[in-house]
Chains A and B, each alone.
Chain A
Amino acid sequence: MSLDEVVGELRSGMTIGIGGWGSRRKPMALVRAILRSDITDLTVVGYGGPDLGLLCSAGKVRKAYYGFVSLDSPPFYDPWFAKARTSGALTAREMDEGMLKCGLEAAAARLPFLPIRAGLGSDVPNFWEGELKTVESPYPVDGAPETLIAMPALNLDAALVHLNLGDAHGNAAYTGVDPYFDDLFCLAAQRRYVSVERVVETEELVKTVPLQALLLNRMMVDGVVEAPGGAHFTLAGDDYGRDEKFQKHYVESAKTPEAWQRFVDTYLAGSEEQYQAAVRRFAEEA
């Protein structure tokens, strides 16, 4: 599939899970394709980074379920997410990072909830405005039952993830030190789309990485897109590190409407190929 064909299968109002973590292996090319579309009114689930920021910059997020939002390097706080929050533009379902994993696992196992300790005593239940309940254990500890957070399943209409290597059928692998939670996002979703740095024959895929790195199988994927540089400006395992200079440029550009319009015109107004070419020019000039 192409990036725009994937986005063509998405609809306004959907609940979309976005893989990666902070500014790490985010499916940024797919996010950029959403920005090119008229899809809006999204509920976004994820470990937030500039993916959520870019979607907020275009006013496409109605509600967000997240454990944190971070750029992972100075200035750390994403400027567009901050603007959306301080202007009240989105409804926040903020939660502990572990609760997000738990909610995806519940959805993956088709369970209505899973019990978890994290969240108790904090302001997380207040963020959820009645959406988050507790559950009492039927098995007491020393005569007293534990009452835990009943983390609801985070069921997704669609999942978008970016991996390093895949075949045309949806088998896909990560390289580098961390799979993040991309398999859980796919297992929690109705429609699953993976962009990869490189599409190869299955035989080459399984010869290139250890078995443990084969994160996705065919049952977990509906569409594969070849998108070299598709995680830019976030890092992508062994393929490339974070483009710190460009991420700083993104942050600086968010500061004034004029600077942001220049950023949009230069990087976001055209195709993914035009984006990658403009990014190469930025690297040469910097």
Chain B
Amino acid sequence: MTSIETVTRAEICAVACAEIFSGAGEIMASPMSPMSIIGARLAKLTTEPDLLLSDGEALLFADTPPLGGKAPIEGWIPFRRVFDVVASGRRHVVMGANQIDRFGNQNLSAFGSLQRPTRQMFGVRGAPGNTINHATSYWVARHTNRVFTDGVDIVSGVGYDKVDAADPAYRFHHLHRVVTNLGVFDFEGPGHTMRARSLHPGVTADEVAENTSFEIAGLAEAGETRQPSAEELRLIREVLDPKKIRETEVPS
């Protein structure tokens, strides 16, 4: 049996990542890092059995394998078809971020200026298309005030202050959650600013404030992120991530 005392921060994060997909239905879940992959697979094995999950390359899994594992497949999703799914809106992506500001603008492209950056990362990748077309959430393994910054250098993922309310082309924009090693957040603060939904057990409001460059709405009132159920712990520890890869993102 598992007791609450033995639950690690990484396991709290995995469950919070699973809850990103609560109510998602029959859409493609596209998590981009180990923790969010554990979360999406946990959701599929518990409350969201209709989620579509891929191997991250071109195959749709029929079953839900452990992290890094193989499983029987149910379909084909080469990159070109992924762009069709993006445009259809039937997708919820969980991206990483080098920077996120209080309105949810995100950067994974480069630091510095557009034509002469100080540090080059990936470029904008699919972030502009993801954020304008379908639900987007973020997973940040190390919540620091360098990530949660006053302004991002390059807007790859679109934030709420960039939405043109007069143009219906923006009507599918929705930033759902930000899950970090410290808590769970959304953009339901005043004027669609970042708001605290819950802080992980043992995390204080001061700790979050010290590690965020801007003021987070609802921080003082935020409750505690829920504990995993015994079944969720079993799935995380025995089925999805027996090698504890989650600990490489969030050490205990």
Q: Are A122 and B156 in contact (CB under 8 A)?
A: yes
Residues of A within 8 A of B126 (CB): 67, 96-98, 118
Residues of A at the B interface (CB closer than 8 Å) are 21, 48, 66-70, 76-77, 81-82, 85-88, 91-92, 94-99, 101, 116-124, 126-127, 141-142, 144-148, 177-181
| Residue B173 interfacial (CB < 8 Å) | yes
Q: Which residues of chain B from 77 to 119 have a CB within 8 Å of any chain A CB?
A: 78-80, 83, 86-87, 109-110, 112, 114-119
Instruction: Using known A-B contacts A76-B122, A142-B168, determine if residue A98 contacts B129 with beta carbons closer than 8 Å.
Output: yes
Size band of the interface chain B makes with A: 35 or more
Q: Are A126 and B168 in contact (CB under 8 A)?
A: no
Is B169 in contact with A96, judged by CB distance below 8 angstroms? no
A69 to B108, CA, bound (A): 12
For B86, the chain A residues whose CB sits under 8 A away are 98, 118
Q: Counting CB contacts under 8 A, is B59 at the interface?
A: yes
* The residue from B57, B133, B155, B168 contacting A178, defined by CB atoms under 8 A apart: B57
Do B120 and A147 touch across chains, with their CB atoms under 8 A apart? no
* A66 to B173 CA separation, bound complex (whole angstroms): 24
In the assembled complex, the CB of B244 is this many whole angstroms from the nearest CB of chain A, namely 19
Measured between alpha carbons, how far is A86 from B121 in the docked complex, in Å? 11
When distances are taken between beta carbons in the complex, the residues of chain B under 8 Å from A146 are 167-169
Set of chain B residues within 8 Å of A98, measured between Cβ atoms? 83, 86-87, 126, 129
Cross-chain contact B116 with A123 (CB below 8 angstroms)? no
A92-B115, A148-B169 known; A68 and B80 CB under 8 Å?
A: no
Q: Is the CB of A121 within 8 A of B168?
A: no
> Chain A residues with Cβ under 8 A from B154's Cβ?
123
Quick check: A120 and B132 within 8 Å, CB to CB? yes
Q: Are B115 and A77 in contact (CB under 8 A)?
A: no
Interface residues of B (CB under 8 A from A): 57-59, 76, 78-80, 83, 86-87, 109-110, 112, 114-129, 131-133, 154-159, 162-164, 166-170, 172-173
What B residues does A181 contact at CB under 8 A? Answer: 79-80
Q: Which residues of B contact A148 (CB under 8 A)?
A: 169
A120 engages B114 (CB within 8 Å): no
CB distance from B58 to the nearest CB of A (A): 4
What are 15 A-B contacts defined by CB distance under 8 Å?
A68-B122, A68-B123, A69-B120, A70-B122, A77-B122, A85-B110, A95-B128, A98-B83, A98-B87, A101-B83, A120-B132, A122-B132, A123-B156, A178-B79, A181-B79
Contacting pair A121 B129 (CB below 8 A): no
A118 touches B123 (CB 8 A): no
Interface centre among A69, A92, A181 (most CB of B within 10 A): A92
| Distance in angstroms between the alpha carbons of A122 and B59 in the assembled complex | 30
Q: Is the CB of B119 within 8 A of A86?
A: yes
Residues of A within 8 A of B172 (CB): 117
Given A121-B158, A121-B159, A123-B109, 5 other A-B residues pairs in contact with their CB atoms under 8 A: A117-B132, A120-B128, A126-B114, A146-B168, A147-B169
- Cα A72 to Cα B125 in complex, Å, equals 12
Q: Contact check, B127 vs A96: say whether CB atoms are below 8 A apart.
A: yes
Assembly CA distance A88 to B110 (angstroms): 13
B129 engages A97 (CB within 8 Å):
yes
Contact of A117 among B59, B129, B162 (CB under 8 A): B129
Contact residues in A for B114 (Cβ distance below 8 Å): 92, 94, 123, 126-127
Give chain A residues whose Cβ lies under 8 Å from the Cβ of B87. Answer: 98, 116-117
- Evaluate contact between B129 and A94: CB separation under 8 angstroms: no
- 3 nearest CB pairs, A to B: A118-B129, A121-B162, A82-B120
Measured between beta carbons, the chain B residues less than 8 angstroms from A127 are: 114-115
In the bound complex, do residue B158 and residue A120 qualify as a contact, i.e. CB atoms below 8 Å apart? yes
A177, B122: Cβ atoms closer than 8 Å: no
With known contacts A121-B164, A146-B167, A96–B129 Cβ distance under 8 A: yes
Give the complex CA separation of A91 and B133 in angstroms. 28
Q: Could you tell me if A66 and B158 are in contact, using CB atoms closer than 8 angstroms?
A: no
